[in-house]
């Protein structure tokens, strides 16, 4: 096993009726003014916004609001929020929403101290400092509520890139699974597939890291079991709780320990798709890319892919496991082919070009343009 560092000081407050704790928590850390970042209004429908505001008021926390973060969150909105923060001088950021909102909040919290936050995405500037971040999670997928990562799309340059820094780990995240009961089914599924994909990015680099590999397998199975349960009984609070917690654990660093930082090339290929097709949700893109990626890559680490086939899918080999995986995704009503995403042949070239902007694509195998083309070929419908 490789040497590793691990530290994740984020405090998780998990369960029913926990949103009202946000005010007192922010107070406890000594802050009295926050910038509240939110999405497109769903939190006004499910009472999350009301409870948040009530809690802030009772704790005498001042706040300023930024609305309108969209799925595949964009740099222009981040810049708008940073300008507001410069004017309003909040002591902390409060993200109320899903991964897009939290990722935007992270970019704002780091960007507050930088001339141009995009420089950090380009790797030209180090993030050393950020405003403290608090989150109320309303959609489980990215695990951004308990990790150091944020992904933002630069819509002008068509780049969907990431930043990561210890100071971007939220101080406190409130996860009330019951607020996710009313989510449209496809958003639950996208979150589940994002969680599974995070686990696979790390897992497939594994060789003899028995402990972390076994944890990844346990989490993958738990996500599959809980999603199946929710499809049968959408209001099952217990299934929702298990799914939500497994998705956080899938990318909060714990299950990745010793696994060499993961591969992330499937994620990057997906980012190439949603950079060009922003209407494609990240989970949808991953549902299409990952099975193809596995079929292309499994010979690079055959023992681990075989182990995954057996332990996660009870399949006799990788081909059979991918088939089961696609059948499961289809049963969850996720897209599984590029055609399902309405991506045509011409656009594939654009996607490949976009993906190849990344230097050093892939760890298990360094991917060339040709490799990415082949992977995308395997994502074309064979049904």
Q: Summarize as ranges the residues that interact with a copy of itself (CB under 8 A).
A: 1-18, 177, 208-212, 214-215, 217-219, 221-222, 225-226, 237-239, 241-242, 245-246, 249, 254, 257-258
In whole angstroms, the minimum distance from the beta carbon of 23 to a copy of itself comes to: 16
Dmax (CA) for the chain in angstroms is: 60
What are the distances in angstroms from CA 94 to CA 57, 137, 258, 338, 372?
14, 11, 32, 36, 38
In whole angstroms, the minimum distance from the beta carbon of 212 to a copy of itself comes to: 8
In whole angstroms, the minimum distance from the beta carbon of 72 to a copy of itself comes to: 28
Q: Do 280 and 341 form a contact (C-beta atoms < 8 A)?
A: yes
What are the distances in angstroms from CA 260 to CA 65, 123, 166, 187, 364?
39, 20, 17, 30, 10
Pairwise CA distance, residues 81 & 73, whole Å: 12
In whole angstroms, the minimum distance from the beta carbon of 231 to a copy of itself comes to: 15
Write out the two tokens for 129: 């400092």
Identify the helix (H) or strand (E) that includes residue 136: strand 133-137
**Toward a copy of itself, which CB reaches closer, 18 or 153?**
18
In whole angstroms, the minimum distance from the beta carbon of 250 to a copy of itself comes to: 10
In whole angstroms, the minimum distance from the beta carbon of 329 to a copy of itself comes to: 20
Three-state SS at 297: helix
**Toward a copy of itself, which CB reaches closer, 18 or 148?**
18
**Toward a copy of itself, which CB reaches closer, 258 or 335?**
258
Pairwise CA distance, residues 210 & 194, whole Å: 23
**Toward a copy of itself, which CB reaches closer, 162 or 218?**
218
**Toward a copy of itself, which CB reaches closer, 129 or 369?**
129
Write out the two tokens for 173: 């995240």
Write out the two tokens for 6: 């691990």
**Toward a copy of itself, which CB reaches closer, 14 or 113?**
14
Looking up tokens 């890559």 gives 297
């Amino acid at each position: 096993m490789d040497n590793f560092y691990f530290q994740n000081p984020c405090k998780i407050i998990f369960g029913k009726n926990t949103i009202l704790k946000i005010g007192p928590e922010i107070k406890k850390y000594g802050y009295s003014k926050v910038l509240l970042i939110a999405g497109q209004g769903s939190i006004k429908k499910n009472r999350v916004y009301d409870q948040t505001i009530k809690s802030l008021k009772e704790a005498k926390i001042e706040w300023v609001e930024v609305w309108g973060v969209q799925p595949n969150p964009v740099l222009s909105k981040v810049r708008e929020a940073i300008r507001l923060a410069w004017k309003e001088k909040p002591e902390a950021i409060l993200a109320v929403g899903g991964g897009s909102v939290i990722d935007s909040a992270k970019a704002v919290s780091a960007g507050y101290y930088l001339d141009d936050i995009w420089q950090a995405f380009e790797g030209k500037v180090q993030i050393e400092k950020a405003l403290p971040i608090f989150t109320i999670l309303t959609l489980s997928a990215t695990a951004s509520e308990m990790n150091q990562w944020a992904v933002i799309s630069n819509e002008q340059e068509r780049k969907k890139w990431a930043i990561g820094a210890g100071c971007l780990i939220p101080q406190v995240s409130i996860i009330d699974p019951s607020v996710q009961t009313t989510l449209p089914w496809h958003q639950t599924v996208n979150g589940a597939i994002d969680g599974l994909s995070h686990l696979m990015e790390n897992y497939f680099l594994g060789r003899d890291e028995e402990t972390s590999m076994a944890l990844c397998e346990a989490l993958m199975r738990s996500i599959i079991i809980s999603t199946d349960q929710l499809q049968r009984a959408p209001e099952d609070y217990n299934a929702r709780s298990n799914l939500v917690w497994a998705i956080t654990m899938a990318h909060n660093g714990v299950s990745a320990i010793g696994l060499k930082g993961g591969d992330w090339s499937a994620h990057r290929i997906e980012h190439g798709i949603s950079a060009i097709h922003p209407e494609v949700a990240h989970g949808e893109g991953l549902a299409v890319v990952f099975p193809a990626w596995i079929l292309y890559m499994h010979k690079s680490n055959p023992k681990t892919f075989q182990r995954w086939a057996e332990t996660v899918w009870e399949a006799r080999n990788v081909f059979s496991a991918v088939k089961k995986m696609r059948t499961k995704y289809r049963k969850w009503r996720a897209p599984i082919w590029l055609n399902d995403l309405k991506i045509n042949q011409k656009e594939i070239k654009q996607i490949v070009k976009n993906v190849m902007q990344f230097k050093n694509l892939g760890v298990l195998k360094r991917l060339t343009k040709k490799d990415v083309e082949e992977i995308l070929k395997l994502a074309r419908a064979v049904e």
